[in-house]
Chains A and B, each alone.
Chain A
């Protein structure tokens, strides 16, 4: 685990250094601020994905849950006249309930996580588009009552902290503590490693897996609410497209194994950050943005191949 953390920090440092050499503005205040702001939102998604991945499952519905829960508050407030607090509460509750639903289907009916959450991906986006009529939904002129959610807190003239960054910090610290210091975290790691041994030890494996999907759903909802405030609004057809893949990629870069049983939350946050650094670097160093997917995919592939080769080398050294 520590080895993986050192690895991701090293890669992050190398990519940042390379980008800074290529583009002098890469380490400027506004650039770093936008980088961290985006990392804050994607980091939340990756942490949620990590909770599911550690159980050996997968959550493909993250992007669609984000879209549905993110568009719900402005829709409820502006179209239906709900109070703001109630609209936010309803959006987060909806995301949580969808996560619980995935978990129940995966455990009680023993359905495959891939299939369950793939259906979620399709259904929630379809619902969001249907309800909003594919029109752009958003906080008109950034509704005064919600603007504080993304209000910049200036540190220097060129750099400010935004509330989503603080939200990520709180969530990341809490998630790290849950994973390493609580009964729930120990259960997640144990059942991700060996579900049968966990079951035979009297661990409530089904309930624990449901909690993991609930956390993923809730964090996708939270990120969605913040996204929509931050970007003033969005369209159901595009908001959150592919975000589940970014979330999973961040978790994998951060050291999660899709076989389950392994997760380091700090690693996952750094993984999400690395994704954003690579994307920013692509945009700022003048590489054609059309090929950014190819570059992101390439970076992930290089990283997992390198990791596997290093692991084999270590094992060979440990043996011989």
Chain B
């Protein structure tokens, strides 16, 4: 029997994930082809829409911001061995925290308001993720099912709060009162004319900071070490004296706080008010982003940019090719999760054989 030769590191870290993503997109292309549309045209429109002009690029970065936070939220929980598919609900509930401080101190300068929004939103998001964490740690409830159910509950809860409590009298649409301009998170277009009328704002820089923060937390601190130990080998973690229930609850709360920043980006930065269903699937994209990026900040950043481009390009596409709706992106998302997450090792054995054959003559064997 032949011995399996491990793959070179660059293949494992870079080539394999890229091949998996390519596979996901190829199948996506075939689906587009099957409804009688040209996938290459679609890609062309999307690239132009996402990067071709200033405000398009600004929108791409705006979506990227959301996906970085949601992706980091899923990644962080994943390192501790948990699958948090609740960033959607966590971000939604965090919107309540953001709008409460914003309306309470409406008119405060944004330099003070921005940190307040981060803290309040973060606390609300952390709380919404902490409960499933608590139920997992103390009662053994399956975290996947509870986080999903919490998404449904968040929809009901926020629906009630927005339509029955926050909605001012005399307003028709389901939204809260507006935040004054001076209190909103400033848009990057105020500093860079390039972004024209796009909504990318200072929260984008916060997302970059969050990428470094998560890297530091997971790979450079004792807490991160404990987290990874728990994720890789819960028994070893127990022998090392790591309290799994405390780790699970803390990690979930942190994960929820990261997801919460989606609300700061949207409520505090773009809309300036709390709108019904403002998260609009960004939390779910985080799941795909985390798998595609292998839960590493560099990967998450690249995957977020790709999905940001897909979202913005997808809007452009909907204008140019009405046959393709935005839901195609959800399909791509699913294929990416399937091929990079569940079937990630499909190409591993063929690649191992290929490299073994390639290396044998070179190794003088």
**Do A and B associate with each other?**
no
